[in-house]
């Protein structure tokens, strides 16, 4: 007899994997197909900062829901979740004003945050350069993960925990045909997989399935350059540190009354702005520092315009600015890499229910590690709760 799954999901990044997780919790039989033998796109190339604090109001809620999942799954298996909070550091009056305004919004929403003066910031994160720091806003509930570990640990845990789960690594779904009773998928291994519902979470892969649809969509690709140092001796940095340009960039702050005025007054032709740079820092488990980042954009159609090279002017700039903000010994580079995520130009996420049984989810942008667990929970509850 033919094996038919309730759901097949193509794409083993954070979005596809959490779809699978929530559908399994709802009692469905699920197969997750990942093209690579181990997921290696945006989901493993990022900072691993789980920071609902940076998101717009509705997405903050979903990010906070994600925190619950990360923390509860961490009780069952080691996903590399570390709960040391996030600190936003202001360096001038304008950035400090935004921190104070967001603090008020957090109070109204019941999201715990603490305003810190300069001394408290330096006590919490002695790695900060006292000349840079004016004030801080700290979110004690937020966490970090190790992107190189998290998704693989989660998938392994799901295989162990659910007899109704099948993980197919190295399997590309290449063709989708909807019949009268179910959906037939053809794979690179020349197999057919049958399912009642198909969900595509393919991230920045646009060529294999529905290429025309992606090319005509409002999706854009963002290329991000990242830096990892060699392990840094005698410095321990817990949690995420986000700095002044982040405060002027993240969506949460755009809800603050003085945001528009501050944004307008910012220089328009700076290197910061040209390459969408802001300085974030996190220490990985091995003691190395993860630094970044920059943003360059292209539509799906014009994605080849995004160079595969590293622009070393950007890397040099990020390192120089990092050295101004932090009191670090000589920075010795271990690794440069780039990753790309997909975002929408107007919407917060791309959802396309092509038919009752074929669904595309993409374009969650720079918030995917933070929001996917909560977002996919909301979608599965709304659409498929039995
Ligand atoms: C450098 C960088 C830093 C970031 N930092 C953060 C951060 O700190 N916090 C945060 O919240 N977010 C961050 N993000 C954003 C976050 O990483 C992304 O939003 C998220 O990983 C997107 O997940 P995804 O599952 O949609 O896509 P992906 O991770 O790209 O996964 C898609 C998967 O689908 C597979 N696939 C594609 N087509 C097929 C097919 N036909 N069949 C089978 N498999 C297929 C691919 O191989 C891939 O593994 C960052 C992103 C980058 C690039």
pLDDT digits (tens, 9 = 90+) for 167-219: 999 999 999 999 988 999 999 999 999 999 999 999 999 999 999 999 999 99
Question: Measuring from atom 1 of ligand 1, which residue has the nearest CA?
Answer: 46
Domain encompassing residue 170: 1-80+144-218+347-386
Tell me: the pLDDT tens digits for 238-271? 999 999 999 999 999 999 999 999 988 888 889 9
Ligand 1 midpoint to CA 203 (Å):
5
Integer Cα distance of 283 and 146 in angstroms: 10
Residues near 192 by beta carbon (within 8 Å), at least 6 away in sequence: 184, 185, 186
Candidates 7, 203, 342: which one to mutate for ligand 1, based on the most atoms within 8 Å of Cβ?
203
In a domain, 139, yes or no: no
Ligand 1 midpoint to CA 226 (Å):
15
In a domain, 232, yes or no: no
Longest Cα separation, the chain: 71
In a domain, 298, yes or no: no
Nearest to 360, CA basis, from 240, 217, 256: 217
Question: Measuring from atom 15 of ligand 1, which residue has the nearest CA?
Answer: 366
Residues near 360 by beta carbon (within 8 Å), at least 6 away in sequence: 199, 200, 201, 202, 210, 213, 350, 351, 352, 354
Structure tokens at 180: 């009268």
Mean pLDDT by 10 residues, the chain (386 residues): 92 98 98 98 97 97 98 98 97 96 97 98 97 98 97 98 98 96 96 97 97 97 97 91 94 95 88 95 94 96 92 97 93 96 97 98 98 98 96
In a domain, 63, yes or no: yes
Question: Measuring from atom 35 of ligand 1, which residue has the nearest CA?
Answer: 11
Ligand 1 midpoint to CA 48 (Å):
12
- Count how many domains the chain has: 1
In a domain, 212, yes or no: yes
| Pure H helices in the chain | 14-25, 42-45, 57-76, 93-109, 118-124, 147-161, 211-216, 244-247, 259-265, 271-274, 312-325, 368-384
* pLDDT for position 170: 98
Candidates 9, 38, 42, 376: which one to mutate for ligand 1, based on the most atoms within 8 Å of Cβ?
42
Ligand 1 midpoint to CA 16 (Å):
9
**Residues above pLDDT 70, as percent of the chain:** 100
Distances (CA, A) of 207 to 176, 239, 310: 14, 37, 24
Q: What is the CB < 6 Å shell around ligand 1?
A: 10-16, 33-36, 39, 41-43, 45-49, 172-173, 201-205, 208-209, 224, 226, 293, 339-341, 364-370
Integer Cα distance of 250 and 125 in angstroms: 21
Ligand 1 midpoint to CA 180 (Å):
32
Ligand 1 midpoint to CA 89 (Å):
27
In a domain, 242, yes or no: no
In a domain, 300, yes or no: no
* pLDDT for position 108: 96
Question: Measuring from atom 19 of ligand 1, which residue has the nearest CA?
Answer: 368
Question: Measuring from atom 5 of ligand 1, which residue has the nearest CA?
Answer: 46
Structure tokens at 62: 């979903």
* pLDDT for position 268: 85
Candidates 7, 8, 11, 193: which one to mutate for ligand 1, based on the most atoms within 8 Å of Cβ?
11
Ligand 1 midpoint to CA 14 (Å):
6
Ligand 1 midpoint to CA 367 (Å):
10
* pLDDT for position 1: 67
Distances (CA, A) of 383 to 26, 314, 353: 11, 43, 11
Question: Measuring from atom 3 of ligand 1, which residue has the nearest CA?
Answer: 46
* pLDDT for position 330: 86
In a domain, 3, yes or no: yes
Is residue 79 within 8 Å of residue 153, measured between CB atoms? Answer: yes
Ligand 1 midpoint to CA 99 (Å):
29
Integer Cα distance of 188 and 222 in angstroms: 28
Candidates 88, 152, 351, 369: which one to mutate for ligand 1, based on the most atoms within 8 Å of Cβ?
369
Candidates 145, 209, 366, 371: which one to mutate for ligand 1, based on the most atoms within 8 Å of Cβ?
366
User: Residue 203: which CATH number?
Assistant: 3.50.50.60
Integer Cα distance of 246 and 232 in angstroms: 24
- Is pTM beyond 0.85 here? yes
């Amino acid at each position: 007899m033919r094996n038919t799954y309730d759901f097949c999901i193509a794409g083993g990044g954070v979005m596809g994997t959490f779809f699978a997780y929530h559908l399994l919790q709802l009692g469905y039989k699920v197969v997750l197909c990942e093209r690579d033998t181990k997921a290696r796109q945006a989901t493993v190339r990022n900072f691993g900062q789980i920071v609902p604090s940076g998101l717009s109001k509705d997405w903050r809620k979903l990010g906070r829901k994600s925190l619950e999942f990360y923390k509860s799954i961490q009780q069952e298996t080691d996903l590399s979740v570390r709960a040391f909070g996030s600190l936003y550091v202001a360096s001038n009056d304008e950035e400090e004003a935004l921190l104070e305004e967001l603090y008020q919004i957090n109070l109204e929403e019941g999201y715990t945050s603490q305003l810190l003066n300069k001394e408290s910031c330096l006590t919490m994160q002695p790695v900060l350069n006292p000349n840079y720091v004016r004030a801080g806003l700290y979110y004690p509930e937020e966490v970090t993960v190790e992107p190189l570990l998290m998704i693989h640990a989660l998938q392994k845990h799901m295989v162990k925990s659910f007899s109704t789960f099948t993980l197919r690594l190295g399997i590309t779904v290449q063709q989708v045909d909807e019949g009268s009773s179910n959906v037939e998928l053809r794979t690179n291994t020349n197999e057919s997989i049958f399912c009642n519902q198909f969900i595509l979470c393919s991230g920045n892969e646009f060529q294999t399935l529905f290429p025309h649809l992606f090319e005509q969509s409002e999706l854009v690709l963002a290329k991000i350059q990242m830096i990892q140092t060699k392990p840094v001796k005698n410095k321990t940095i817990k949690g995420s540190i986000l700095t002044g340009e982040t405060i002027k960039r993240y969506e949460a702050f755009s809800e603050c009354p003085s945001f528009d005025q501050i944004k307008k007054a910012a220089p328009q032709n700076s290197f910061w702005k040209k390459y969408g740079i802001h300085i974030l820092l996190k220490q990985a488990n091995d003691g190395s520092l993860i630094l970044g980042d920059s943003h360059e954009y292209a539509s799906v159609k014009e994605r080849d315009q995004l160079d595969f090279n590293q622009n070393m002017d950007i890397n040099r700039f990020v390192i120089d600015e990092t050295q101004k903000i932090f009191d670090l010994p000589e920075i010795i580079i271990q690794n440069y890499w780039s990753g790309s995520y997909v975002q929408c130009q107007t919407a917060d996420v791309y959802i396309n229910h092509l038919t009752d049984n074929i669904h595309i989810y993409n374009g969650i942008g720079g918030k995917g590690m933070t929001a996917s667990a909560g977002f996919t929970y909301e979608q599965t509850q709304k659409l498929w709760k039995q």
